[in-house]
Chain A
Amino acid sequence: MRNTIHRFLALATLALTCAGVGTAAETARETIARAALAGSDRAQREIIGSLAGRSDAAIPELLDAWKRDELFLYAPADGQAPVPVQLTGTPDAAGTRTAVRIADGAPLTDTAGQPLRLIPSDLKAVEHTSGLRRAMKAVLDLVDLGSPDPATRIKAIDTLGKAQAADKLPVLRTRLESETDDDVRDKLREAIALIELKAADDATRIAALGVLADLHTLGSADFVEAARREAETAGRAEIVAAARTAQRAIEGHRSMVDLFGTLFRGASTGSILLVVALGLAITFGLMGVINMAHGEMIAVGAYTTYLVQNLFGAGVVIPFFGLSLAIPGLGLSGGAYNAYFIAAVPASFLAAAVVGVGLERSIIRFLYRRPLESLLATWGVSLVLQQVFRLVFGANNVQVSSPSYLSGNWTINEIIFGWNRVFVIGFGILIVFGIWLVLTKTPLGLLMRAVMQNRGMAACMGVRTERVNMLTFGLGSGLAGLAGAFLSQIGNVGPSLGQSYIVDSFMVVVVGGVGNIAGTVISAFGIGSIDQVLQQYLPSWAPGMAGVPFIGSFLQNLAQDSAVFGKILVLGMIILFLQWRPAGIFVTRSRSLEG
């Protein structure tokens, strides 16, 4: 059986290479129509096989229909030759469906020119054997090769190359001659080389390894490894050497990809830290208030995003102390629905800012001179808010779907730049820029800085410090709300959302130096990068840790948990860093004895 197929495939490719031009006058539809009419299974296979390498959109459509038993032979009443048709659309009450002529895709009409509707059971179905289905698959595999979209072509070529089937070589080589896109050409060369790794003669294999070394793609690593193993067993020293060279090239490329990938992830982790810490840098850094409820301000922003999303969509029902509060939605979909995020951003800023101002007026303003007490009171607030979230939105996470435009990625030189991470970084930059504008270019910013530097003096100059305090705290809380909107796009939204970020954000502000936005930015990116580097490389350092006396095996064990161990190491580094610079990256000096 297998033999027949091989023979057939060889035949098919032959048909393609030799007769490809000959059948050019015939459209793919006509070819398939001819195949449907062909009497024997064997003839059908040959005709279908001749389609290999062509990329007409009708091919997958019709072949799939064939496999679904939707192709029929329609015999006109007056004894004319049967017409191959495809039945499409849903059956009506009488069980009839629209009939389309396979040869040209036009609706089948009766003599009066009216479209005909046919009942499948009245017609002779076009049969298909398993051999024919295999032939179809071989054709379908190659269809994408001719796709106008380079990405589709690359995907198809990749599949072919990784299957390492020698019979696909001629098709790929032909394609390489006519291909103009550089990326696709590289992919073709890779696929050909991968297939040639299976070649019988050493010279071809060595040449293929040379090509793979030149391309040094990550995907080829396993195949090169397999080829080397095989050559080692067979004792082919030259091939082993060539494979080694290729592996070195691939490894070199891999470490480059890892490095840039890590840096990119570090930048995005840093941006997350930055966005969650910026609000804190204002309330803690500028005002000296330890707001333990900062995390809950973030959650307020995230829940606001959730509400806005539901307002744009189907609406939402909120259980509130036994009552049900139903909020009808706008019922939007598609692009308009995706735009909810644009509305959610200002909404979450405002919501969190309002809660923040309320908190400042009711509690924090009494505690400006007692930082430790403000820490404790705001922790009480945090408990209350978390429980309120639980009561209102439930203890489980709520679903916030990110707009579809965040799910793609760019791939440059095999380094993947996910759009969500790019979005994260962009959002971070935007917010920092916004804060910089507010602090330096607005009257509020001027007043803020004046009050924070010398409260008494500012008050003497007629600044209404109470008001400035309130607004500053509102700004800091609003920023936390923004962070919430932002986090809702990349993670879960739940009652304890804020708790998971609070420790990190305090670290960022402390390391950056209190009262210094620039320090916060540097420290966020620094901590983010170190964290990602450790996560990336800790597992590879694990064996080295075995050498540490007494706790070696223990450390080695822990290093496997790179995310956790990395976090712990980062904390250790922060403590050591504070030994060196107790006041953070940028120091703000005070002249009083106790201060």
Chain B
Amino acid sequence: MPHPILTVEDVTKTYDGFKAISNLTFYLYEGELRTVIGPNGAGKSTFFDLITGRARPDTGKIEYGPVTNPLTDLTRLKEYEINRLGIGRKFQTPSVYVDHSVWDNLVLSLRGTRGVFATIFHRLDSTQRDRIDELLKLIRLADKRHWKAGQLAHGEKQWLEIGMLLASDPKVLLIDEPAAGMTDEETHRTGELLISLAGKHSLVVVEHDMTFVKQIARQNTVTVLHQGSVLCEGRFDEVQAHPRVREVYLGRGKKN
């Protein structure tokens, strides 16, 4: 049994009487690329919120435990503490610093210096500059490095945010609908990138686009969320064949 880097056990979260997440249990193993699908309102965003400290679970356990680190209880930590542990998140709607240049967005995200006084006296060294250049090439924004992020097209912002995520070099990447607003070609390239990241990083990708899911899932596990808990887990074709899944999700999806 491989080592779970992320353990979510029996977690429940209620908003004003509405159970967004109910008795959810979920394990992410080191180096895994996990795809999470589910209809709207299945609790995908809340699920990410709980892991990243944006929301606190009412009950249940959320722990982070890469092989190299001691087990950490995430339910007591703040957003930035969780991020510093090595859990990065890409939001559904691209959230970049619109008034900063593309370069500065990456500088802000680069792994390292986070303290108040440290940032005052921080200077980029040449390895860091090289790393940013490398990322700029990867996300194909090298010639727009001085552009304000707010001036980029939607798809470019998506790429920039992926670049920012990579810059922070997290162990776990939580990626919410990366393909939204991208062309087919870009979507495919995103898929390739995510697949290449697996192994070294552990990824959870939430996605609606079934072609994209099929591309990245391959032989990896797909988790189907429904009404705040796991409906089923398995390989893409298994999940696709599951009668309940067809009923609540794929059935509707296949009509068009």
Is there any pair of Cβ atoms, one from A and one from B, under 8 angstroms apart in the complex? Answer: yes
Binding site for B on A (CB under 8 A): 589, 591, 593
Alpha-carbon distance between A303 and B3 when the two chains are bound, in angstroms? 75
List B78-134 residues whose CB lies under 8 Å from chain A.
91, 93, 95
Residues in A with CB closer than 8 Å to B93 are 593
Residues in A with CB closer than 8 Å to B16 are 589
Does B91 lie within 8 Å of A589, measured CB to CB?
Answer: no
Q: In angstroms, how far is the closest chain A Cβ from the Cβ of B45? A: 8
Alpha-carbon distance between A591 and B15 when the two chains are bound, in angstroms? 11
Does B95 lie within 8 Å of A593, measured CB to CB?
Answer: yes
Alpha-carbon distance between A593 and B16 when the two chains are bound, in angstroms? 19
**Least CB separation from B45: chain A residue:** A591
Residues in A with CB closer than 8 Å to B91 are 593
Residues in B with CB closer than 8 Å to A589 are 15-16
Q: In angstroms, how far is the closest chain A Cβ from the Cβ of B176? A: 11
Alpha-carbon distance between A591 and B95 when the two chains are bound, in angstroms? 14
Q: In angstroms, how far is the closest chain B Cβ from the Cβ of A281? A: 21
Q: In angstroms, how far is the closest chain B Cβ from the Cβ of A363? A: 26
Residues in B with CB closer than 8 Å to A591 are 45
Alpha-carbon distance between A591 and B93 when the two chains are bound, in angstroms? 12
Alpha-carbon distance between A591 and B16 when the two chains are bound, in angstroms? 13
Binding site for A on B (CB under 8 A): 15-16, 45, 91, 93, 95
Alpha-carbon distance between A315 and B15 when the two chains are bound, in angstroms? 60
Alpha-carbon distance between A583 and B126 when the two chains are bound, in angstroms? 45
Q: In angstroms, how far is the closest chain B Cβ from the Cβ of A125? A: 90
**Least CB separation from B92: chain A residue:** A593
Q: In angstroms, how far is the closest chain A Cβ from the Cβ of B99? A: 13
Residues in A with CB closer than 8 Å to B95 are 593
**Least CB separation from B91: chain A residue:** A593
**Least CB separation from B54: chain A residue:** A593
Q: In angstroms, how far is the closest chain B Cβ from the Cβ of A231? A: 67
Sample 6 A-B pairs with CB under 8 A, ordered by A number: A589-B15, A589-B16, A591-B45, A593-B91, A593-B93, A593-B95
Q: In angstroms, how far is the closest chain B Cβ from the Cβ of A515? A: 14
**Least CB separation from A591: chain B residue:** B45
Q: In angstroms, how far is the closest chain B Cβ from the Cβ of A79? A: 105
Alpha-carbon distance between A594 and B179 when the two chains are bound, in angstroms? 22
Alpha-carbon distance between A74 and B91 when the two chains are bound, in angstroms? 110
Alpha-carbon distance between A589 and B15 when the two chains are bound, in angstroms? 9
Q: In angstroms, how far is the closest chain B Cβ from the Cβ of A38? A: 91
Alpha-carbon distance between A591 and B48 when the two chains are bound, in angstroms? 13
**Least CB separation from A594: chain B residue:** B95
Q: In angstroms, how far is the closest chain B Cβ from the Cβ of A580? A: 15
**Least CB separation from A587: chain B residue:** B16
Residues in A with CB closer than 8 Å to B15 are 589
Alpha-carbon distance between A422 and B16 when the two chains are bound, in angstroms? 38
**Least CB separation from B15: chain A residue:** A589
Alpha-carbon distance between A589 and B93 when the two chains are bound, in angstroms? 19
Q: In angstroms, how far is the closest chain B Cβ from the Cβ of A493? A: 44
Q: Which 5 A-B pairs have the closest CB atoms?
A: A593-B95, A593-B91, A589-B15, A589-B16, A593-B93
Alpha-carbon distance between A184 and B207 when the two chains are bound, in angstroms? 85
Q: In angstroms, how far is the closest chain A Cβ from the Cβ of B54? A: 9
Residues in A with CB closer than 8 Å to B45 are 591
Alpha-carbon distance between A591 and B55 when the two chains are bound, in angstroms? 11
Q: In angstroms, how far is the closest chain B Cβ from the Cβ of A594? A: 8
Q: In angstroms, how far is the closest chain A Cβ from the Cβ of B87? A: 17
**Least CB separation from B95: chain A residue:** A593
Q: In angstroms, how far is the closest chain B Cβ from the Cβ of A588? A: 10
Alpha-carbon distance between A570 and B15 when the two chains are bound, in angstroms? 31
Alpha-carbon distance between A79 and B31 when the two chains are bound, in angstroms? 137
**Least CB separation from B46: chain A residue:** A591
Residues in B with CB closer than 8 Å to A593 are 91, 93, 95
Alpha-carbon distance between A59 and B45 when the two chains are bound, in angstroms? 91
Alpha-carbon distance between A589 and B20 when the two chains are bound, in angstroms? 14
Q: In angstroms, how far is the closest chain B Cβ from the Cβ of A457? A: 16
Alpha-carbon distance between A591 and B20 when the two chains are bound, in angstroms? 12
Alpha-carbon distance between A591 and B18 when the two chains are bound, in angstroms? 14
Alpha-carbon distance between A591 and B49 when the two chains are bound, in angstroms? 11
Alpha-carbon distance between A593 and B91 when the two chains are bound, in angstroms? 9
Alpha-carbon distance between A270 and B95 when the two chains are bound, in angstroms? 44
Q: In angstroms, how far is the closest chain A Cβ from the Cβ of B17? A: 12
Alpha-carbon distance between A591 and B54 when the two chains are bound, in angstroms? 11
Alpha-carbon distance between A47 and B163 when the two chains are bound, in angstroms? 113
Alpha-carbon distance between A589 and B95 when the two chains are bound, in angstroms? 20
Alpha-carbon distance between A591 and B40 when the two chains are bound, in angstroms? 14
Q: In angstroms, how far is the closest chain B Cβ from the Cβ of A87? A: 85
Alpha-carbon distance between A593 and B45 when the two chains are bound, in angstroms? 11
Q: In angstroms, how far is the closest chain A Cβ from the Cβ of B2? A: 33
**Least CB separation from B93: chain A residue:** A593
Alpha-carbon distance between A543 and B95 when the two chains are bound, in angstroms? 57
Q: In angstroms, how far is the closest chain B Cβ from the Cβ of A545? A: 37
Q: In angstroms, how far is the closest chain B Cβ from the Cβ of A562? A: 40
Alpha-carbon distance between A439 and B207 when the two chains are bound, in angstroms? 41
Q: In angstroms, how far is the closest chain B Cβ from the Cβ of A518? A: 15
Alpha-carbon distance between A593 and B96 when the two chains are bound, in angstroms? 12
Q: In angstroms, how far is the closest chain A Cβ from the Cβ of B163? A: 19
**Least CB separation from A592: chain B residue:** B93
Alpha-carbon distance between A501 and B229 when the two chains are bound, in angstroms? 51
Q: In angstroms, how far is the closest chain B Cβ from the Cβ of A201? A: 75
Alpha-carbon distance between A593 and B55 when the two chains are bound, in angstroms? 12
Q: In angstroms, how far is the closest chain B Cβ from the Cβ of A427? A: 34
Alpha-carbon distance between A263 and B95 when the two chains are bound, in angstroms? 51
Q: In angstroms, how far is the closest chain A Cβ from the Cβ of B100? A: 15
Q: In angstroms, how far is the closest chain A Cβ from the Cβ of B106? A: 20
Q: In angstroms, how far is the closest chain B Cβ from the Cβ of A129? A: 88
Q: In angstroms, how far is the closest chain A Cβ from the Cβ of B93? A: 8
**Least CB separation from B49: chain A residue:** A591
Q: In angstroms, how far is the closest chain B Cβ from the Cβ of A20? A: 79
Q: In angstroms, how far is the closest chain A Cβ from the Cβ of B96? A: 12
Q: In angstroms, how far is the closest chain A Cβ from the Cβ of B90? A: 12
Q: In angstroms, how far is the closest chain B Cβ from the Cβ of A531? A: 32
Q: In angstroms, how far is the closest chain B Cβ from the Cβ of A150? A: 58
Alpha-carbon distance between A589 and B49 when the two chains are bound, in angstroms? 14
Alpha-carbon distance between A589 and B17 when the two chains are bound, in angstroms? 13
Q: In angstroms, how far is the closest chain A Cβ from the Cβ of B41? A: 12
Q: In angstroms, how far is the closest chain A Cβ from the Cβ of B148? A: 17
Q: In angstroms, how far is the closest chain A Cβ from the Cβ of B51? A: 16
Q: In angstroms, how far is the closest chain B Cβ from the Cβ of A300? A: 39
Alpha-carbon distance between A593 and B95 when the two chains are bound, in angstroms? 9
Q: In angstroms, how far is the closest chain A Cβ from the Cβ of B19? A: 15
Alpha-carbon distance between A593 and B93 when the two chains are bound, in angstroms? 9
Alpha-carbon distance between A100 and B93 when the two chains are bound, in angstroms? 100
Alpha-carbon distance between A116 and B82 when the two chains are bound, in angstroms? 108
Q: In angstroms, how far is the closest chain B Cβ from the Cβ of A582? A: 14
Q: In angstroms, how far is the closest chain B Cβ from the Cβ of A179? A: 64
